[in-house]
Amino acid sequence: ETGVTQTPRHLVMGMTNKKSLKCEQHLGHNAMYWYKQSAKKPLELMFVYNFKEQTENNSVPSRFSPECPNSSHLFLHLHTLQPEDSALYLCASSQAGTVQGSGYTFGSGTRLTVV
């Protein structure tokens, strides 16, 4: 149990489907992040939320839509995805703005396959 829970662990979806990834943290952190990890590629930061407000969007295509209803929950809504979107999607949280809280706690990720 890492304190950050991602569901589902695995997801297979067609290009016309709509699905959502969920991330939940019970660490009292104030910042949450979505990363994409493709095979043989570096981690790609997608979105950053601080105190429920989106503070960064790294030119992510609109077929990925994040939602942060509160500081403990983060969603990634998916629609009309492409096969190249298949990857491991990682959620992380941190206590931004504090020295000891710096650094992420990661979830185990959602392995997404787009067919």
Interface residues toward other proteins, by CB under 8 A: 2, 4, 6, 31, 33, 41-43, 45, 48, 50, 55-56, 88, 90, 92, 94-109, 111
Nearer to other proteins, 56 or 82 (CB): 56
Q: Are strands 105-106 and 4-7 parallel, antiparallel or unpaired?
A: unpaired
Q: Count how many Cα atoms sit within 13 Å of the Cα of residue 10 in the half-sphere of its side chain.
A: 1
Nearer to other proteins, 4 or 68 (CB): 4
**Alpha-carbon dihedral sign for residues 48, 36, 2, 10:** positive
CB 73, min distance to other proteins, A: 17
CB 113, min distance to other proteins, A: 13
Q: Which of 98, 112, 113 is nearest to 31 (CA)?
A: 98
